[in-house]
Amino acid sequence: MCKESLVLSDFAFVPTKEQTESSNIFGFMKKYQIDSLPALLEKAKNDLDWYWEAVEKDIGIVWEKKYHSVSDFSKGKQWAKWFIGGTTNIYASSVDKFARSNPNKLAYVFVSEDGTEKKVTYFELNEQVCKLANGLKSLGIEKGDVVAIYMPMIPEAIFAILACAKIGAIQTVIFSGYSTESLKVRLQDCKAKILFTSNGFFRKGKPISQKKVVIESIRDSKIKKVLVVDYKSVDQYEGNDVFVYYNDLISNQSSSCKTEMLDSESPLFILYTSGTTGKPKGVLHTHGGFSVFAGHQAAYLIDMKEPDVLFWPADIGWITGLTWNVYGLLEIGATSIIYDGAIDWPDINRTWKIIQEHQVTIFGLSPTAIRMFKKEKANPESYDLSSIRIMPTTGEPIDKDSWWWLFEKVGDKKIPIMNLSGGTEIGGAFLSVLPGMKLKPSTVGVPCPGIDADVFDDNGKPIRNEKGFVIIKQPWPSMTRSLLNDDTRYLKTYWSRFPNTWFHGDFALIDSDELWYLHGRVDDVIKVAGHRLGTTEIEECVISHPQVSDAASISIPDSVTGEAIVVFCVLNSEKGQNFENELKEYVSDKIGKIAKPKTIKILSELPKTRTGKIMRRLLKSKLLGEPLGDLSGLENPHVLNQI
């Protein structure tokens, strides 16, 4: 981070009394006679059992049999269990509930790139889920079986997720853009029996086939049936013993199906991390713990209410999509706009048109998307965005310039940016801006209620106004239940750095107002002549230059300083004759001479995963001539040819 913005003294946003007092979290505090957010945070982390029981009651989790204990850490924090002895099903606390109480309420509006729309009410959603659940049972799928979902953002993908939950099968959603190797390794690891796919889709007007990837990936797997949804007819399948068309399976099925009530610790889904380094990690979440946490995330972090309309273009193959676009949303009984396509297609203002047309009240997006809108000179001011009241963002640390762009251009300086951070292993976010908070640019807020997080130095001591390691001291309900088939890796990754403490792998700083700021991953640290610099602070400084729209920094070996800094950047205008030297001096002036880049390289775009994460590893490998490894998670592999 640039020197002048390391510790900010002024608040850019101060909520109105109405924004504070109308929020769900304020209502929760009022119910329990808690007079401030700091008091809530303190009470919640000091009495976890009280807090999480109060949360599940407030959200309205449905239990067939009430749990006898909220938590059990008797085998160690690493193996924590929640809501012991209770029986539930996340479907009972979501679709079942609202299909009865508000059947005609819209659950989803599905929008395709070509403008096709499909609206689904809670009643219709329940009918479709029941038909598919019965279809899965007719194929022999039982409680505990794994079903893989490899589809674009279409209605049947949501139906498949929910049908699995309803009957106690375990779903694993695999991003529809993954290539053969990425799909195959996940199918093999989780031993899935059924695979859902589509007959192709479109991205930026171009047809995308899934057929070859599917056929090659199911070899040497446990897949018995592939269910094909008739979507955009890019691929042609002949029905046989393996390939079955979705509509043929459900056409004669009953629209009534019993929801299986399960032990609280029964697995709900497996979700794999992106696998940008090494074998992907299979994270496991449960019906009880995730039900409570997903509702908590929707109700208290982004203040979702039943009348809300959410538009958050986050794929269901990532935890953001599952937490807020599926389970959290449906537990609140709200509506979501699900967009299948590129958010800048057919033009850069497609997003604002959707918000205006559907009167979106909660609009979420990633920092990568914000930078794209900035670079392409999107024009949100030309649209009526007055329906928006909350703007969540996540995926990576947000730089100051992008924060201000969103705050001013989209929010008109009146709407809070609910910057949050978490992960697949967390089950959502553990750091977040909360309703009613005063905000500074780029802050990721505070630890969520019920999360006992801190920043440690190298010796495991809490620090303030200095960068340190993000840790969590106590378990939470949706903490991953180990890693699938790999307890050893789980313990080494999350529990080996400090005793009995979750090590998240992020750098952060807590300022004098107790607001948090993320500074990138621990793995992304650059050491120049013994000085430790985070890639985030270098990149934020580079992006603050008026000609730069996006940036990434890496280290390369240096015979004098040990490591030297290389900056890759994307420009929003033609560079001047001495731009590289000018930018080097700019960084040196802002951070210090120790941060002066050795080399500046200009790219048309940065290599990123489909979730918007910058692939610094690939930048470094390409520059040093090292093997690149699997590129299937990369959105734009062609950009590597520019290096």
- Of 207, 234, 260, the last residue of a domain is 260
**Is position 282 within any domain?**
yes
Give the distance, in angstroms, between the CA of residue 108 and the centroid of all CA atoms in the same chain.
Answer: 19
User: At CB < 8 A and 24+ separation, what contacts does 71-80 make?
Assistant: 71/475, 73/475, 76/500, 77/474, 77/475, 77/495, 77/500, 77/502, 78/482, 78/490, 78/491, 78/494, 78/495, 79/482, 80/475, 80/479
* Shared domain check, 211 and 82: no
Q: Which residue, among 593, 580, 586, 605, has the nearest Cα to 533 in the 3D structure?
A: 593
Shared domain check, 384 and 309: yes
What is the number of structural domains in the chain?
Answer: 3
18 in any annotated domain: yes
Q: Which of 260, 286, 314 is the last residue of a domain?
A: 260
The reply to whether 506 and 408 lie within a common domain is yes
Give the C-alpha separation, 380 to 383, whole Å: 6
pLDDT tier, 178 (very low <50, low <70, confident <90, very high otherwise): confident
Residues 391 and 510 in one domain: yes
Q: Please tell me whether residues 210 and 311 are part of one structural domain.
A: no
Cα–Cα distance measured from residue 552 to residue 532, given in angstroms and rounded to the nearest whole number:
17
Range of the domain at 571: 529-642
Which token pair is 426?
Answer: 């967390």
Task: Residue 470: count other Cβ atoms within 10 Å of its Cβ.
Answer: 25
| Nearest-5° Cα angle at 272, 268 to 194 | 60
Domain co-membership, 493 together with 634: no
Task: State yes or no: pLDDT of 5 exceeds 60.
Answer: no
- Asked if 527 and 562 count as a contact pair (C-beta separation under 8 A), the reply is yes
pLDDT band at 278; cut points 50, 70, 90: low
**Same domain assignment for residues 503 and 372:** yes
pLDDT recorded at residue 536? 83
Assigned domain for 524 exists: no
Cα–Cα separations (whole angstroms), residue 86 to 62, 96, 296, 621: 10, 18, 19, 50
Residues 402 and 472 in one domain: yes
Amino acid 629: pLDDT:
76
Asked if pLDDT for residue 580 goes beyond 70, the answer is yes
427/450 Cα distance (integer angstroms): 14
Task: Indicate if 405 and 457 belong to the same structural domain.
Answer: yes
* The pLDDT of residue 530 is above 80: no
Whether 159 is covered by a domain: the verdict is yes
- Give yes or no: residues 85 and 133 share one domain: no
Quick check: is 626 in a domain? yes
Confidence band of 612 (pLDDT split at 50, 70, 90) = confident
Measured distance CA(66)–CA(303) in Å, rounded:
27
Query: Does one domain contain both 280 and 417?
Result: yes
* Residues 171 and 165 sit within 8 Å (Cβ to Cβ): yes
Query: Is this structure's pTM higher than 0.85?
Result: yes
Instruction: Quote the mean pLDDT of the chain.
Output: 93
Q: Which of 595, 527, 578, 577 is nearest to 555 (CA)?
A: 527
**pLDDT tens figures, 294-353:** 999 999 999 999 999 999 999 999 999 999 999 999 999 999 999 999 999 999 999 999
Are residues 49 and 80 both part of a single domain?
Answer: yes
CB of 379 closer than 8 Å to CB of 349? yes
In whole angstroms, what is the distance from residue 500 CA to residue 238 CA?
A: 54
Q: What is the CATH number of the domain that holds 9?
A: 3.40.50.12780
For the ranges 7-21, 88-102, 532-546, the maximum mean pLDDT occurs at: 88-102
Domain end residue (candidates: 260, 289, 315)? 260
Q: In what order do the strands lie in the sheet with 335-340?
A: 117-121, 106-112, 335-340, 309-311, 362-363
